[in-house]
Amino acid sequence: MTKLKSTTYKFVSSIGFIGLSKFLKIIVTFFVSILVIRHLNPDIYGVYVFAIAVTSFFFTFVKLGIAPIVVIDLTHDPKKKLEIISTAIYLKLFASLFAFAVLTVCVIILEKDYLIRICIILVGSSIFFQFHDIFKTQFEYEIKGKEIFVATIIHSYFSSILKLIAIANNASVEIFCIILIIDHFIHLLLYLAFDRFSIFRNKLQKFDLTRAKSILSRSWPLLIASFGVIFYMRIDQVMIKIFLGAEEVGYYSAVVKLSESANFIASALVAGIFPLLVKINSNSDKDFQYIMLGLYRSTLFVSICISLFIFIFNEQIINILFGIKYAKSAPVLAIYCWSIILVFMGLLSTKWMIISDNRKLIAVSTFSGAISNIFLNIYLIPLYGMEGAAYATLISYSFSAIIFDVFYSSLHKNLKFKILSLNLLPLPNFIFDVYKRLKSHN
């Protein structure tokens, strides 16, 4: 465990900044989102969310699943840093042009509602600023948590202020779509500034076709898995729009917003700790297994606490946050809140599968779960309405996060972690042990 001591402190310091930035962003955007939801009312908010849901599939494509591959390549071949980052940026730019063209054609042909069409194209145009996550990946690798912290906080606060101004001036839904464009642009601009705009000096001069093929050949399973995740997160909203209408999308999406706020906590922690897990795994398998089991127990405990609280107080939460006009959302929240446990576990499980070179199984797991979610929605929404969509999400999450591991022997070790994590009694000892290591490092 001595090697673990020498690397943990720097990573934990950076993770602390990344986690804090995510936490502050969640707090600010969460409360501003509540005001936006109350301002737009269920029917118009449904249009707004539907536009975001549709464009999210194209945003996922633009990500290409390459961020974890970039981290791994930078770790194994740091001397080729410029080539790796530059190639990744070019790949995302090419993907953005293609995705926006396809999105625009699809919207013009398939969507008849003028307001929805305008909102989708407006939100979709921010796709050209999506490569900011490459800079974030670079900063995470370089342990520059402070820069990520500042960039996240500034763009979150700026976007929130614009939304508050829009609410105060009784702005239309189109204005909120334009604010989303500004939000992504500012986020990219901040990362460019912290990188001293080196993209214009050298990063656009080092595209390597061989490197691009190598990245894409390893990232496609993660891309498919990402599509599976976005299907989980958004397809229910799309299908509710098809079966029930935009107003029901508004009710349902208020619930999703609450759950996503909790899920972002896990996403921030897991994303921040990923470089550390890669480092530990390359040094010691014993240390890696110890840390993974402790992380599974930690995420399980936190997610159970969050889900139980929401389940008990679902009606009060909806009434206080969104008002009585969103009362129809409460029964959905009582069901949907339990998906938080499965999302927390699934995020950590995905990182384990990446590190253990089971990327293809990530794609199979997530995509098969997403397909089951679609069929469950088709069956359950007509029968049970919005509650049916929540049940579909819960069942499909369970399949991908837990049941899928049973069918592949290479995932049995991961399944063992999940089963052992149900025993939370050793958790205090794990937390105390990590605390002692950090204290001794100081």
Position 240 scores a pLDDT of: 94
How does pLDDT run across 393-436, given as a tens digit for each residue?
Answer: 999 989 988 999 999 888 898 899 899 989 888 888 887 776 67
The answer, yes or no, to whether residue 143 has pLDDT greater than 90, is no
Q: How far apart are the first and last CA of the chain?
A: 16
Average of pLDDT values for 196-216? Answer: 71
Average pLDDT over residues 143-171: 82
- Alpha-helical segments (H) within 195-208: none
Structural domain of residue 171, as residue ranges?
2-441
Q: So what's the pLDDT on residue 65?
A: 82
DSSP 208: -
Q: Which pLDDT belongs to residue 439?
A: 62
Share of the chain above pLDDT 90, in %: 33
Q: What is the mean pLDDT of residues 67-72?
A: 80
Label residue 251 by pLDDT band (50, 70, 90). very high
Sign of CA dihedral 396, 130, 220, 346: negative
2 versus 373: the higher-pLDDT residue is 373
pLDDT at residue number 4: 47
8 Å CB contact between 132 and 191: yes
pLDDT of residue 22: 64
Residues 6+ apart with CB under 8 A from 383: none
Of 1-5, 132-136, 377-381, least confident by mean pLDDT is 1-5
CA dihedral 385, 386, 387, 391 (to 10 degrees): 100
Domains held by the chain: number: 1
Average pLDDT over residues 40-64: 91
Give the HSE-up count for residue 110: Cα atoms under 13 Å, Cβ half-sphere.
10
* More confident call, 232 vs 364: 364
Q: How confident is the model over 6-37, as pLDDT tens digits?
A: 455 555 555 555 556 666 677 777 889 899 99
What is d(CA 431, CA 59) in angstroms, rounded to the nearest whole number?
Answer: 37
